[in-house]
Copies of this chain bind each other. A is one copy, B any other.
């Protein structure tokens, strides 16, 4: 693959490849994150971390659906103080570490963000989009979203990404409002608000009843969000949702994503998925005669 360059720069972060780890997946401990980096990820995003430790919801926290997974973890995390040392271990992986954070208020977001910066995070990803916890429905409002972005931006010098939820009437509105407030990139999408009821017992399966749908099932929704947002904003869009094969990744790049994140596919295909997707993208670029990843970002817009 002579001459094919599949590195990419997102808001100043240089990634060796565009295949990132998604937030909340294998992201609670430093060694776990480091392993994902070693498996070939271009950057790693931590579990969403809050100001205090949270146990999350009781089990079942996950259940399989048609071509997808439904989860309601409830944002379990050790709290930002305890997480600092994990972040340092994660950095040994040698790739950019993006700290996903959440909070009940913009002040909490700002505090957690600045601790993460000090601990060495290369960027912050604001999780304003978890579809099944009380604390993070902010992303459903363009105004609250821009509030949080502005406040966090004031407190840190590293880039700030905003992770958006598809559970809104107009995701482009929220994206634009985040951009205006100074966001350096948009990550989309988080999971779709969803649910499963067991037919045998009549009971909702997840302990929290409602959860978030991820995996191949939601890919078309995510592609649409990336397409629509990347047409309307000038900051990079990071695509996420159901990416499982390199073809899926290329689809997101064509739709307008500058990089992509992998979550559920790890359960379906293992950690080798990072290398396989990166290789697939490279091979695609090379066979198609492109020399640069950037050449295909948003290519579908011109049709």
Taking CB atoms, residues of chain B closer than 8 Å to A296 are: 202
The contact of A219 among B65, B250, B254, by CB within 8 Å, is B65
- Stretch of A46-54, A147-155, A187-195 on the interface side: A187-195
* Cβ 8 A contact of A199, one of B169, B196, B209, B254: B254
* Assembly stoichiometry (copies): 2
Max chain B Cβ within 10 angstroms of own Cβ: one of A204, A218, A224, A228? A224
Chain B residue with the shortest CB-CB distance to A165: B169
Check if A80 is an interface residue, CB within 8 A of chain B.
Answer: no
Given the interface pairs A216-B66, A251-B199, the reply to whether A221 lies near B194 with Cβ below 8 Å is yes
Contact mask A147-172 → B, CB, 8 Å, 1/0? 00000000000000000000111100
Query: Given that A66-B216, A197-B255 are contacting pairs, would A224 and B210 also be in contact in the complex, using a CB cutoff of 8 Å?
Result: yes
Q: Identify which of B217, B250, B254 contacts A67 (C-beta below 8 A).
A: B217
The residue in chain B whose Cβ has the minimal distance to the Cβ of A167 is B169
**Closest chain B CB from A145 CB (angstroms):** 12
Q: Which B residue sits closest to A67, measured CB to CB? A: B67
Task: Render A195-224 as a binary contact track against B, CB cut-off 8 A, 1 for contact.
Answer: 111010011100001100100111111011
Contact yes or no, B202 A66, CB < 8 A = no
Bound state CA distance, A104 and B168, in angstroms?
23
Interface readout for A278-303 with B: 1 if CB under 8 Å, 0 if not? 00000010000000000010011001
30 examples of A-B residue contacts, CB within 8 angstroms: A65-B220, A66-B67, A66-B217, A66-B242, A67-B67, A67-B216, A68-B217, A70-B220, A140-B169, A167-B169, A192-B192, A192-B220, A194-B221, A194-B223, A195-B224, A197-B251, A197-B255, A197-B300, A199-B247, A199-B250, A199-B251, A199-B254, A202-B299, A202-B300, A204-B300, A210-B224, A216-B217, A217-B217, A217-B218, A217-B220
